[in-house]
Amino acid sequence: MQQSFEELFWAPSTEQGRLAHKWPHYFPIYDRHFGPCRERPIKFLEIGLGQGGSLQIWSRYFHPASTIVGLDIDPACSVLAEEGYHIVIGDQADEGTLEKLRELGPFDIILDDGSHVGSHQHASFFGLWQAVRPGGIYVIEDTHTAYRPECEGGLRRPGTAVELAKNMLDALHIHHIPLDQMEREDKVLSSVHSTVAGVHAYDSVVVFERRDPCGPPLPDVMHGNQRL
C-alpha cells in the first residue's frame, strides 16, 4: 500500500534528509490531486526549492521512473542536480528560464512554490500553462500571500494568484459571457479558456486542471417523459 504524503513527510528516513517546509493542511490536497498520477512515471516540476527537502519527498512519493525537475533562483540549489534531479537555475518570471522549462516538458504536474510575488506567479502560469500535459494540473501554493503588500498583494487587488483563480473561473464560463460585458483585459481569458478543465480552491492552494482544446459546450439534454 502506498504511503500518503504525510506519512512520507514524517517518515524516519526524512529526518536525516534535507529540510522540507510545508503547511500540514496541504498534505491531503496533494493526495487528492496527485494520487491518481502515482501508478505511472510522470514529469513533475517544482518551482522554488528552498533547501531541497520537498524534492526528496516527491521522489519517494511518485513512481520511481518519474522525472523530477526543480527551478530556483538561488545558484546554491544547483548541488541538487548531483542527487539525481534535473535542476534549472533562474528567475520564474524570466522568459528565457521559462523557455528552458518548456523544453523539458510537457509536465503532468507543475507546482509553484516560488517567490509568491503576484507578477512572478502570473508570468510562470501563462508561460508554462502550455507545458502542462492535457489531463495534468498546475498548482500555486501559499496563495495567502496574495493579500500581503510585500508580495504585490491586497484584497481583490488585480494581478494576484487569487484574482488569477477568479479569472480562470470566468475562463471556464467564457461561452456564457455576453461579448458586450468582456473588457480588454479579458482577452487573456480567451487564450486559455479552451484548455481549462477545472479550478479547485483551498486555503492557500489553487489547483488548475488542463484539458485538450475544446469548443463551446454541448447543448443541455433531457431524458425521460414524465412531468409533474
Would you please indicate which residues are annotated as catalytic (active-site) residues? 116
The residue among 138, 139, 133, 137 whose CA lies nearest residue 212 is 133
Sheet holding 132-141, edge to edge: 86-89, 67-72, 43-47, 107-112, 132-141, 205-210, 196-202
Q: Phi then psi for 45, rounded to 5 degrees?
A: -120, 130
Q: What distance in Å separates the CA atoms of residue 27 and residue 13, rounded to the nearest whole number? A: 18
User: CA 116, CA 160: separation in Å to the nearest integer?
Assistant: 9
Q: In whole angstroms, what is the distance from residue 215 CA to residue 221 CA?
A: 17
C-beta of residue 92 within 8 angstroms of C-beta of residue 120 = yes
